[in-house]
């Protein structure tokens, strides 16, 4: 049977050059498998346009032939959103120019394929901060960050990616370019179109460039590692620090005892930050753009008060930048070391901050009752109410037998989240892995509005079909 995708590949290679139309299996391999290796896709080719106009050309041709287009940035997504199931992969990697840094406006205009770390560095070179920060920042790309509304470790102070975007340039499903590249702090001229595309995971349009918000570069910064008796004590600590330190509290990350144990076990050279063991740990960071402000004594006083009140059991404040980095690397190596403990079942969830300790305790108990020996690793962005509620397989259990229980644990964890009026996807998105969960838990009216928007912006369903929403002609999700 003739395949419309192969029919247009020659047209695309005539415009973009053969080197930017990858058809051989070895060249495509890295684009077909996602980070966690839960999904393997298939595509006719990987197309690598080098400009917004070329992106528009590709989408127009694909729309004309009815060929699905799956946009891809750094392919670090964790929900199978960038994995193709037919059609073409549209890699944004060659759109990697920083178009402008404007310190006066406190804005930076970047093309979608810029690696997040390069955006951070460009801001830093202008003595500014672009605060989005994730463990994948060396390989994820800003277009992917926008498409997933990425979170990370600085949301507490600066918000999600959505809060960091002022303007967007987007290629629509019919190949038209929407130039919404505005650097305005205020603009009430009708519907907020940019926010439709942010977090839409490539299903409504292809982000080709963005105007991003910059902030003053922190000039004083100090981190502390704190041991508490329980998640509830950690919550009390968070509430007290937030009141006392306000915006200077820029991160509050949570790790349970098990998480620190496996980090220390698997990371050569990692140093135990506190002498004893504790049920719950918090990695705290305070920062300020004022170089003359010594934050250390402020943090010391706040932690001393918490110690005296019995909220904190022990605390260590970094005495140098190297110690700061060492504390952060304990937190950042968690995803990696979990892999070394065998299979894991992961949930990226959010609840109101006031419920985050209750959630951890309730969900931990429920999972341990459901499968004795399961090792709960509930860590993450505690100050945002966002917990990566991950389960490591019981010691000695077959990995496949454990992973076969993913659905069962989804029900346990997501039911608890839902009962707390939370979200089954806090920052990683829906992609394929949570598509059916979304259909189960999302308000039916909201789902209906989402389908209406999808049909209005992409009536042919060619943009990342089958992701986020199940439409009639979509593929079933397959793990």
- Could you tell me which of 91, 80, 89, 93 has the C-alpha nearest to residue 36? 80
Q: Which long-range contacts (CB under 8 A, 24 or more apart) does 241-247 make?
A: 241/284, 241/302, 241/306, 242/383, 244/302, 245/286, 245/298, 245/299, 245/302, 247/157
CB nearer to ligand FAD: pick between 92 and 378: 92
Burial label for 226, CB within 10 Å (0-12, 13-18, 19+), is buried
Footprint (CB under 6 A) of ligand FAD, residues 448-467: 464, 467
CB nearer to ligand FAD: pick between 30 and 297: 30
* Residue showing the smallest CB distance to ligand FAD in the complex: 144
Burial label for 221, CB within 10 Å (0-12, 13-18, 19+), is middle
CB nearer to ligand FAD: pick between 204 and 299: 204
x/- site string to ligand FAD, residues 47 to 76, per CB under 6 A? Answer: -----------------------xxxxxxx
Closest approach of Cβ 372 to ligand FAD, in Å? 30
Is 41 a binding residue for ligand FAD by CB under 6 A? The answer is no
307, containing H or E segment = helix 295-308
Provide the token pair at 296. Answer: 């250390």
**Spatial strand order in the sheet of 107-111:** 98-102, 107-111, 206-213, 165-171, 177-180
Stretch that binds ligand FAD, among 40-48, 130-138, 291-299, 435-443 (CB under 6 A): 130-138
Task: Give Cα separations from 3 to 8, 69, 70 (angstroms).
Answer: 9, 15, 17
Query: Which residue of 135, 193, 270, 274 would you call a contact of ligand FAD, by CB under 6 A?
Result: 135
Is 46 a binding residue for ligand FAD by CB under 6 A? The answer is no
Query: Do the bridges between strand 98-102 and strand 177-180 make them parallel or antiparallel, or are there none, so unpaired?
Result: unpaired
Is 167 a binding residue for ligand FAD by CB under 6 A? The answer is no
Question: Which of helix, strand or coil describes residue 240?
Answer: helix
Is 144 a binding residue for ligand FAD by CB under 6 A? The answer is yes
CA Rg value for the chain: 23
Closest approach of Cβ 152 to ligand FAD, in Å? 4
Footprint (CB under 6 A) of ligand FAD, residues 337-376: none
Is 92 a binding residue for ligand FAD by CB under 6 A? The answer is yes
Closest approach of Cβ 24 to ligand FAD, in Å? 21
Residues that bind ligand FAD (CB under 6 A): 35, 70-78, 81-82, 92, 112, 134-136, 140-141, 143-145, 147-148, 150-152, 201-202, 206-207, 335, 427-428, 431, 464, 467
């Amino acid at each position: 049977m003739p395949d419309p995708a192969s029919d247009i590949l020659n047209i695309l290679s005539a415009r973009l050059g053969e080197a930017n139309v990858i058809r051989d299996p070895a060249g495509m391999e890295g684009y077909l498998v996602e980070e966690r290796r839960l999904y393997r896709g298939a595509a006719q080719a990987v197309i690598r346009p080098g400009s917004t106009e070329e992106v528009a050309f590709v989408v127009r041709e694909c729309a004309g032939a009815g060929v699905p287009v799956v946009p891809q940035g750094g392919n670090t997504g964790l929900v199978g959103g960038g994995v193709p199931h037919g059609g073409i992969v549209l890699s944004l990697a060659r759109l990697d120019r920083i178009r402008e840094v404007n310190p006066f406006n406190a804005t930076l205009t970047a093309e979608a394929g810029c690696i997040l770390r390069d955006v951070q560095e460009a801001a830093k070179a202008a003595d500014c901060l672009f605060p989005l920060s994730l463990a994948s920042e060396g390989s994820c790309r800003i277009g992917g960050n926008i498409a997933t509304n990425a979170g990370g470790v600085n949301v507490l102070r600066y918000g999600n990616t959505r809060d960091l975007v002022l303007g967007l340039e987007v290629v629509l499903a019919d190949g038209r370019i929407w130039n919404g590249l505005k650097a305005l702090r205020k603009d009430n001229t009708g519907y907020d179109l940019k926010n439709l595309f942010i977090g839409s995971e490539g299903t409504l349009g292809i982000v080709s460039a963005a105007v991003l918000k910059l902030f003053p570069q922190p000039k004083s910064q100090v981190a502390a590692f704190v041991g508490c008796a329980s998640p509830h004590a950690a919550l009390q600590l968070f509430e007290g620090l937030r009141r006392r330190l306000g915006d200077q509290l820029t991160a509050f990350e949570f790790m349970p005892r098990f998480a620190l144990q496996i980090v220390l076990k698997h990371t050569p050279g990692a140093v135990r930050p506190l002498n004893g063991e504790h049920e719950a740990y918090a990695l705290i960071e305070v920062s300020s753009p004022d170089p003359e402000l010594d934050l250390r004594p402020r943090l010391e006083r706040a932690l001393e008060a918490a110690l005296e009140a019995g909220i904190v059991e022990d605390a260590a404040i970094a005495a140098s930048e190297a110690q700061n980095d060492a504390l952060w690397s304990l937190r950042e190596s968690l995803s990696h070391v979990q892999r070394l403990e065998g299979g894991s079942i992961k949930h990226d969830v959010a609840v109101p901050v006031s419920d985050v300790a209750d959630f951890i305790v309730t969900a931990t108990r429920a999972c341990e009752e459901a499968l004795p020996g399961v090792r709960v690793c509930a860590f993450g962005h505690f100050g945002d109410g966002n917990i990566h509620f991950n389960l490591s397989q019981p010691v000695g259990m077959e990995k496949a037998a454990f992973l076969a229980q993913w659905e069962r644990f989804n029900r346990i964890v997501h039911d608890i989240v839902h009962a707390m009026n939370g979200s089954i996807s806090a920052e990683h998105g829906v992609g394929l892995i949570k598509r059916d969960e979304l259909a189960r838990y999302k308000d039916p009216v909201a789902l209906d509005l989402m389908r209406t928007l999808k049909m209005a912006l992409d009536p042919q369903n060619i943009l990342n079909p089958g992701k986020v929403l199940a439409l009639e002609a979509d593929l079933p999700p397959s793990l």
